[in-house]
Structure 1
Amino acid sequence: MRIAFLDSWLQDSSSGSGTAVAIGGLAEALIRRGHRVERLVPLGRWPRSLLLRRLWFNVTLPLRFRSGGRPGPYDLIVGFDIDGTLLSGSMSAPYVCSVKGVLAEEAQCERGLPRWMLTALSLLERRNARRAPLVLSTSRYCIDRIRFHYGVATERLVTVPEGIDLSLWQPTADPTALVDLDAARDPFTVLCVARQYPRKRVVDLIDAFAVVTAREPRARLVIIGDGPEHAALQRRLQDRGLQAQVRLLGALQEDAEVRRWYTRASVFCLPSEQEGFGIVFLEAMASGLPVVTTTSAAIPEVVPDGEAGLLVPPRDPHALAQALLRLMQDPDLRARLRECGRRHVRQYSWDRVADRFLEAVEPLVAQSSTTSCP
C-alpha cells in the first residue's frame, strides 16, 4: 500500500515536540511492514512564519495531486490535524483525518494571540474532521472532545494511540544491567521534558520545587524544552530564588542527549492541564522513571495512577510537591512504579500501534478497492 502523510508541522523532535516524533514513528513502522509512506511537507522555509507556512502548504496542496481530485498513485491519504482540509471530502482515494491534538480544546488553555490563533485553526481542523470518512485520534479523551467540539459522528471515530521505539528507550532487557542502570541514578533529580506552552503548567512544577527544596535541599530539577513560556519560566526561577536548584536547558538538538537525561534522573514530572496523549510519559516509563503528573485530560489513560505514577489534581503545586517528596524519600515505591511502567509501556510499541492503525483503515481501503473495480 502506498500512503501519503500530509504534514505541515515542524519535522524535528527538538522543535516539534511529540507530534513530530509520532508521525515519524508511525511512518517508519509502516515502512517496516512493506508499505510505502510519502510524507508531504512544506517545500522550503517560506513563509518564515510557521502559521503562514502551514496555511500556504494547505492552499497549494491540491496542486500536488492530479487535477479533478484524483489521488495519483496513493492507496491512502492521511491528513494530520488541519492538513488536507482542502482535500478532505473531495478525493477518490480513501482519506483519513488524524487528529493529534484537538485544537479547540487546546485553545481554551491559552491566552491572548495564541488562543486566537488556535481557535482560528480549530475551524480548519473541524472542517477536515467533519468531511473525512474516518477520523483517528490518540485517546478516548480526544475522541470525546472531537465529538463535542466538531460534531463528528461516533461511528467515524477510532482511537489509535501514540507509540514509542522501545529499542531507543530500553536499550537492554537484561535484569542485571537494568539494576546497574537504576542504581546509578541520582535519587534527588527530577526531569521535565515539554514544549513550553501555558497548558503544560511547568510554572506549577517550579512553584512546587520551592516547597520541595525547603524540605529536601539535595533536590534538583532539569527542564528540557523551549516554547512561548520559556522567558516567563526564567523569571519565575529568579523570583523563587531557584537558579541553583533548577536547570532550564531549553531545546536540546541531539535526541541522544535527551535520552541520557532520562537515565540520570529518578523521577519524571509534567503537570499538564491538557494532554491529548503525552508521548513524554511513554518515554519516561520506558526509561524506568516513575511519573508525577495530573489527573487531567488523557493523562490517566496513559499513566495508571498508583501503578506507573502518582497523579495529583491540576494547578496544585502543593500536591505536586508532596508527590515528588514521597518518591524521593521512598526508594521501594520508586522501584515498584519503575517496574510497572516498564511493563505497561510495552503495549505502545510502534509495531503494535501500526497494527491498530492498519486495522482501523483497512475497511476504508477495502471499500475503496471494491468500488473502484470495473
Structure 2
Amino acid sequence: MTDAKTLSFSLPGDINTLTGGYIYDRRMVEGLREQGRTVNVVALPDSFPTPSAADMRQALDTLQALPPDQAVIIDGLAFGALDPQGVAAIRAPIVAMIHHPLAQESALPADLADHLWRTERANLAHARHVLVPSPHTRDMLIKRYDVPADRITVARPGTDRPRNGAAPLDPPLILSVGILHPRKGHDVLIAALATLTDLDWRAVIVGNPWDATHVAALEAMVAASGLYTRLTLAGRVDADRLAELYTQASIFALATRYEGYGIVFDEALSHGLPIVSTHAGAVPDTVPADAGLLVAPDDAPALAQALRHMLTDRVDRSARAAAAARAGAALPGWADTARLAGEVLDAV
C-alpha cells in the first residue's frame, strides 16, 4: 500500500533556480505540503539532461534507494534523460512531471534529440502517472510518446494576483521575461526591435543567464543594433523588481521558439498586458486570441510588424489589454495546481 501523505520530489540541482519549470516545481512542493503531506525534496546532479556517467549513476542510485511504499515525482529535466534500465529498477511508484519533452529543446544536435526522444519515451512507460502543464504537452505525449491518455493529468500552473495596480511608463515599456537561452528567441526580439527605431519605446529583457556564450552573443546584438540606450538586458532580477517591471510595462513580448506552457504568459495576463509572441508549442492555447498577436517563430519582420501595431494603435492595444486582464482574473491559483497533483498521488 502506498503512503500518499509522504512522497519525494526529485529534480536536478537547486529547486530555487529562477526558471518557469523550477518555479512550477517549487510552488507544487509548497502546495502539497499545505495539504498536510510530507514532501522530501531530492536533488539530483545539475548536469541533467546531459549528465556524465558518474552523475547518471549517482542519480539512479539515489532514486533506486527511495522507499517502495512512497511515490516519487520526478521532474522531466532529469526523468527524460535517465537510463531506461535504471528507471525500471526504481521501486518507488513514479509520477513523471513533464514540462515539455526534452527532444523539443531548441538548438539540439540531431543525434542528441533522437537519443532524448528514445529515453523519454522508454521511461514514460515506467511512470504510473504523468503530470503536464498544458493540453499541448498532453497531446504530444499521447501522439509521439505512446502514453495512454488516462495516465496523463493536466495541472496548469497557478498564478499569483498582482500586488500593485498598473503604472505604465511613457514612452511605452516592452517587457520580455524568459531565461537567456536560444529557445526563448531573444535574438529574434532584438532583431525586430532594431527595425522600430522610428518609434518611441523602451524595452527590458529579464532572464536568468543560461550560459556566458549566449549572453555575450545577445549583448553583441544589442551593441551592433545601436539599441543599447533603449534596450536593457537585465539578466536575473529579484521578485520585487520583476513585479515593478510588470506594472510599468505596456506590452509583453516573447519571441519563443517553443513552449510546453509558458508561465510568464499567465503573469502577463494577470497584469493586463497585451502579448506579442509566436505560434510555437502551447502558446496559442495559453494566450487568448483577443489578448495578443502571435506570429511564426523565427520571423523577425512579422514580430516587428506586430509590435509596431501594438505601439501605434492605442485603441486596439487597450482592447487587448482589457481582454488580457479578464483572462488573467480567471486563471487558477497554485492551490488548484497542487490539488490536481494531490488527487493523482491519492490514486497511485
TM-score band (shorter)?
Answer: 0.7 to 0.9
- The aligned residue for residue 243 of structure 1 is 228
Q: CA deviation at 1:355?
A: 2.4
The one-letter code sitting in structure 1 at the alignment partner of 2:123 is: N
- The aligned residue for residue 25 of structure 1 is 27
When you count helix as a share of all residues, which structure comes out higher? 1
Instruction: Quickly say closer, same or farther: Cα 1:280–1:18, change in 2 above 3 A.
Output: same
Instruction: Quickly say closer, same or farther: Cα 1:222–1:230, change in 2 above 3 A.
Output: same
Match of 1:336 among 319, 334, 340: 319
**Cα distance in 2 for residues equivalent to 1:48 and 1:138:** 20
Instruction: Quickly say closer, same or farther: Cα 1:316–1:189, change in 2 above 3 A.
Output: same
Q: Aligned residues, how many?
A: 335
Q: 5+ residue gaps in structure 1?
A: 173-177, 365-374
Match of 2:62, SS state, is helix
**Cα distance in 1 for residues equivalent to 2:24 and 2:43:** 15
The answer as to whether partners of 1:201 and 1:273 remain within 8 angstroms in 2 is yes
Match of 1:213, SS state, is coil
Q: CA deviation at 1:272?
A: 0.9
1:290 and 2:274 are equivalent in the alignment: yes
The one-letter code sitting in structure 2 at the alignment partner of 1:136 is: L
Match of 1:212, SS state, is coil
The answer as to whether partners of 1:89 and 1:132 remain within 8 angstroms in 2 is no
After TM superposition, what 4+ stretches of structure 1 lie above 6 angstroms from structure 2? Answer: 47-50, 84-87
**Cα distance in 2 for residues equivalent to 1:28 and 1:338:** 31
The answer as to whether partners of 1:186 and 1:264 remain within 8 angstroms in 2 is no
**Cα distance in 1 for residues equivalent to 2:224 and 2:123:** 44
**Cα distance in 1 for residues equivalent to 2:160 and 2:135:** 22
Post-superposition Cα deviations, 1:148-192, rounded to whole Å, max 9, x if no partner, equal 4422223322222222233xxx115xxxxx3xx33x434521111
Q: CA deviation at 1:206?
A: 0.7
Match of 1:158, SS state, is strand
1:318 and 2:318 are equivalent in the alignment: no
**Cα distance in 2 for residues equivalent to 1:196 and 1:86:** 34
The answer as to whether partners of 1:212 and 1:321 remain within 8 angstroms in 2 is yes
The answer as to whether partners of 2:63 and 2:90 remain within 8 angstroms in 1 is no
The one-letter code sitting in structure 2 at the alignment partner of 1:171 is: R
Q: 5+ residue gaps in structure 2?
A: none
Q: In the TM superposition, what are the counterparts of 1:150-165 in structure 2 within 5 Å?
A: 150-165=145-160
1:358 and 2:342 are equivalent in the alignment: yes
Match of 2:331, SS state, is helix
**Cα distance in 2 for residues equivalent to 1:292 and 1:54:** 40
Report the TM-score when normalising by structure 1. 0.80
- The aligned residue for residue 10 of structure 2 is 6
- The aligned residue for residue 98 of structure 1 is 97
Instruction: Quickly say closer, same or farther: Cα 1:268–1:321, change in 2 above 3 A.
Output: same
Q: CA deviation at 1:208?
A: 0.8
**Cα distance in 1 for residues equivalent to 2:333 and 2:85:** 33
The answer as to whether partners of 1:224 and 1:248 remain within 8 angstroms in 2 is yes
- The aligned residue for residue 65 of structure 1 is 66
- The aligned residue for residue 223 of structure 1 is 205
- The aligned residue for residue 368 of structure 1 is none
Q: Select between 340-349 and 23-32 the one with higher mean Cα deviation.
A: 340-349
Instruction: Quickly say closer, same or farther: Cα 1:319–1:287, change in 2 above 3 A.
Output: same
The answer as to whether partners of 2:256 and 2:280 remain within 8 angstroms in 1 is yes
Q: In the TM superposition, what are the counterparts of 1:96-245 in structure 2 within 5 Å?
A: 96-106=95-105, 109-112=106-109, 119-166=114-161, 170-171=162-163, 178=165, 181-182=166-167, 184-214=168-198, 216=199, 218-225=200-207, 226-228=209-211, 229-245=214-230
Q: CA deviation at 1:56?
A: 4.9
Q: CA deviation at 1:245?
A: 1.8
Q: CA deviation at 1:117?
A: 5.1
**Cα distance in 2 for residues equivalent to 1:99 and 1:48:** 14
Instruction: Quickly say closer, same or farther: Cα 1:338–1:32, change in 2 above 3 A.
Output: farther
Post-superposition Cα deviations, 1:49-72, rounded to whole Å, max 9, x if no partner, equal 984486354223146425xxx24x
The one-letter code sitting in structure 2 at the alignment partner of 1:232 is: A
Match of 2:196, SS state, is helix
**Cα distance in 1 for residues equivalent to 2:303 and 2:310:** 11
The answer as to whether partners of 2:205 and 2:232 remain within 8 angstroms in 1 is yes
- The aligned residue for residue 258 of structure 2 is 274
Q: Select between 131-140 and 154-163 the one with higher mean Cα deviation.
A: 154-163
Q: CA deviation at 1:138?
A: 1.5
The answer as to whether partners of 2:64 and 2:91 remain within 8 angstroms in 1 is no
Report the TM-score when normalising by structure 2. 0.85
